[in-house]
Structure formats: C-alpha cells, structure tokens
Amino acid sequence: MSDAGDSSFYNQVHRLISASVTDASDRRGKERRGYRCVQRLAPCDGDKMPGLSQFCDVECHDLSPGGFSFVTTEPPACETLAVELGKAPVLIYVTARVVHVSEMWSGSETRFLIGCRFTGRLNPSQNGAAGDASPN
C-alpha cells in the first residue's frame, strides 16, 4: 500500500471502529473494539480479487486498525482471505492473513475464533469480481 492509500484505508477502518458499540481491551497495543456485525469474506489467492459470489457471511468479533477477528463453525481452509468491510454502498475490500485460530464452546457447539491481520487492499473492479453478481 502507498502512504496515501494507507492513510485512506486506516481512516476508513477508524470510522468502522468508531461506529461500533462494544469496547474491548487489547494487549497488542492497538485500539481494538468489539465489532459485532456480519461482514463477508472469501478465500484469496495473493492480490487477486475473488468473485463476489465466492464471499460468505461471517460474524465479526472485533476490529482494530491492524486486523479483525470473526467467529465461525469451521476453521478457515486457507491462510489468506479477501474481506469486505462496511455497508453498501460504502464497501472496502482488503486482504488479511489468518494469524490465530482458537476453539470456543457455545453451549454444546464448538466454534472457532479466527484472528486476522490486514495485509493490503483489493480493487473490486479487477480480476475475479469483474462481471460478478452484486453482493446485495
């Protein structure tokens, strides 16, 4: 990412954090906030934008300028993800790398908390998303 791109990206992420309701502490030294909402992600191959039809809904857990976490019933099948953040019509697409997977129990169900670090931006008009169906 360029310096100007970094600044714009982090401003957008900061707006998303500011819109969250739940606070959470973090020992990583970056402001991390509870971000309980549904966002979308897809497996990602390098810097290629996957088709929008490949994205699936996930339950986000928290968000910081450096990354986010989400909860799911299965661990991810790949290490690099494309992430759609925001709400239409203002959506940003980024890449993220899975940095940890933790098991959680919800009643009798096993769930997984997946922690990810942002690694870059994606352009939805390039690669696999071109001509693909709209997310909404």
pLDDT score recorded for residue 24: 40
pLDDT score recorded for residue 45: 85
pLDDT score recorded for residue 124: 82
pLDDT score recorded for residue 65: 87
3-state SS string over the chain?
CCHHHHHHHHHHHHHHHHCCCCECCCCCCCCCEECCCEEEEEECECCECCCHHHCEEEEEEEEECCEEEEEECCCCCCCEEEEEEEECCEEEEEEEEEEEEEEEEECCEEEEEEEEEEEEEECCCCHHHCCCCCCC
Average per-residue pLDDT for the chain: 78
pLDDT score recorded for residue 36: 73
| List of the chain residues with pLDDT < 70 | 1-35, 126-136
pLDDT score recorded for residue 20: 40
pLDDT score recorded for residue 125: 78
Looking at residue 35, its amino acid is: Y
In sequence order, the 6+-apart residues with CB closer than 8 A to the CB of 56 are 40, 41, 42
Question: Which candidate, 12, 16, 44, places its Cα nearest to that of 127?
Answer: 44
Is residue 117 within 8 Å of residue 72, measured between CB atoms? no
Rounded CA gap, 129 and 9, in Å?
20
